[in-house]
Structure 1
Amino acid sequence: MTTQLPDWFRTLADGVTPLRATDFPRTVRPNGAGRDGAVLVLLGAGESGPDLVMIERAATLRDHAGQCAFPGGGAEPGDDGPAGTALREAAEEIGLRPETAEVVAVLPELYLSVSRFNVTPVLAWWREPHPVTALDPGEVARVARLPIAALADPANRFRVRHRSGYVGPAFRVDDMLVWGFTGGIVAKLLDLAGWSRPWDESRVEPLPPDV
């Protein structure tokens, strides 16, 4: 681990080390199912403290259209493992310069049954932040750096209920609704880093009908 990590990131990095797939709501894939992929969980030091890079997927996509997510996508033969996939996808989607981000930990592979992807979250420290933007409007509608303080604010936390019966953690920050796979990862990271504050877990809202 680099000695240049800020203290708040070091606490998070220490916390993710013992994680297993079963520590998350979505677990191990069925035998032989799905395509491999990775997402970049990129944290930097923003103007108001630590923040997290998020994208809003284009509304025209076949899978997870219009949803908030981490930059990422499917693995390609030339990728150097999940970290290589996550950094390449972030470069293609939002213009991230890979040399400005330092991979700190590779989390357990998680299976998304809806899109049949085996997704590996890759935790990275954005040591040299620079402007990023949606490079392909057909894939990414928006890029945002969401402050950790806003994500941890009890007023912005609740649970959502999908019409399928799924109920899980959610956040509403800067007009972005973070839920599902991404919301579960964010909730876990807030707990591990000690950023979580007491919030009303009985607050459950239905997802919008177009989700």
Structure 2
Amino acid sequence: MTDPEAEALGAHSAGGPTPPADIPGWFEPLLTRLRQTDASDFTRLPTPDGEGRRQSAVLILFGEQPEVGPDILVLQRAATMRNHAGQPAFPGGAVDPGDADSIACALREAEEEVGLDPSTVDVVATLPTLWIPVSNFLVTPVVAWWRKPHPVGPVDPAEVARVERLPIRELVDPGHRLRVRHPSGWIGPAFRIHDMLVWGFTAGVLSTLLELGGWAVEWPTGRVEELPTPGAAPVP
């Protein structure tokens, strides 16, 4: 078991969990590259130590649908939430005292938020721990293969408005990609897909994973839009 405090120091084990033998071939290039990553591949911000910072984890769940191909599960926060209202995100949240490690946290949060059955999931990697300054969270992304997909949806509509499986072929479509500008001046990658604007931490991680997996294609990086409702948008 991994001590969450140790993970706060920026340690990670991208090659730790053993991928199942029957994992799809399209997954392997990404897993191979993840074993060689560090935090700088995902962010320009150095990961500080864990003192005074909140530990959390998110689940990056890859699945596959007939005639659609590989996809990634995301949720959209309820518009009434005090923090991150209406924003798309990976399932996840703060580490609880009862969580053995980041993997346990990510799976528990996914079960609580979207009704995911953890027994249908094979964890294949944990990514470098990343720092989100605005919330002072240290976030460990957990990558998993959805071996036996099943229906999922918002468990509590007051927290989660909707759940979507975003096909990789749509995520890499240049027509769905753009960059957004925050009032602070920050500019980062975004995706306009399934009637959602995915931006901030989630879009940044997605963009890097698409590159590492060898799926990304050239897209118009000069397309920059102002964030809608900027007064409600936290700095990424």
Normalising by the smaller structure, the TM-score range is over 0.9
Deviation per CA, 1:125-183, whole angstroms, max 9, x where unpaired? Answer: 00100000000112111100011000000110110000111100100111011111000
- Separation in structure 1 between the aligned mates of residue 148 and residue 90 of structure 2, nearest angstrom: 18
Deviation at 1:33, TM superposition (A): 3.2
Q: Which residue of 1 aligns with 2:77?
A: 57
1:34 aligns to 2:53 (yes or no): yes
- Specify the code of the residue in structure 1 equivalent to 2:174: P
Q: How does 1:57-136 map to 2 (within 5 A)?
A: 57-136=77-156
- Separation in structure 2 between the aligned mates of residue 58 and residue 27 of structure 1, nearest angstrom: 31
TM-score for the superposition, normalised by structure 1: 0.96
- Specify the code of the residue in structure 2 equivalent to 1:186: L
Q: Is the contact made by 2:50 and 2:138 (CA closer than 8 Å) also made in structure 1?
A: no
Structure 1 stretches of 4+ moved >4 Å? none
Q: Which residue of 2 aligns with 1:3?
A: 21
Q: Which residue of 1 aligns with 2:4?
A: none
Deviation at 1:36, TM superposition (A): 0.3
Deviation at 1:16, TM superposition (A): 1.0
Q: Which of 64, 70, 74 is residue 45 of structure 1 equivalent to?
A: 64
Q: Which of 185, 204, 207 is residue 224 of structure 2 equivalent to?
A: 204
- Specify the code of the residue in structure 2 equivalent to 1:197: V
Could you say what the CA RMSD is over the residues aligned between the two structures, in angstroms?
Answer: 1.2
Q: How many residues align?
A: 211
- Separation in structure 2 between the aligned mates of residue 70 and residue 61 of structure 1, nearest angstrom: 16
Q: Which residue of 2 aligns with 1:20?
A: 38
Q: Runs of 5+ in structure 2 lacking a partner?
A: 1-18
SS at 2:52 equivalent: coil
SS at 1:18 equivalent: coil
- Specify the code of the residue in structure 2 equivalent to 1:38: A
Q: How does 1:170-189 map to 2 (within 5 A)?
A: 170-189=190-209
- Separation in structure 1 between the aligned mates of residue 98 and residue 60 of structure 2, nearest angstrom: 21
Q: Runs of 5+ in structure 1 lacking a partner?
A: none
Deviation at 1:31, TM superposition (A): 5.7
Larger mean Cα displacement after TM superposition, 96-105 or 71-80:
71-80
SS at 1:146 equivalent: strand
Deviation at 1:30, TM superposition (A): 5.8
Q: Is the contact made by 2:71 and 2:165 (CA closer than 8 Å) also made in structure 1?
A: yes
Deviation at 1:102, TM superposition (A): 0.5
In 2 relative to 1, CA 31–85 (structure 1 residues): closer, same or farther, beyond 3 Å? Answer: closer
Deviation per CA, 1:11-63, whole angstroms, max 9, x where unpaired? Answer: 11111111111222244136623210000000100230001100001122222
- Separation in structure 2 between the aligned mates of residue 15 and residue 33 of structure 1, nearest angstrom: 32
SS at 1:119 equivalent: strand
- Separation in structure 2 between the aligned mates of residue 93 and residue 153 of structure 1, nearest angstrom: 28
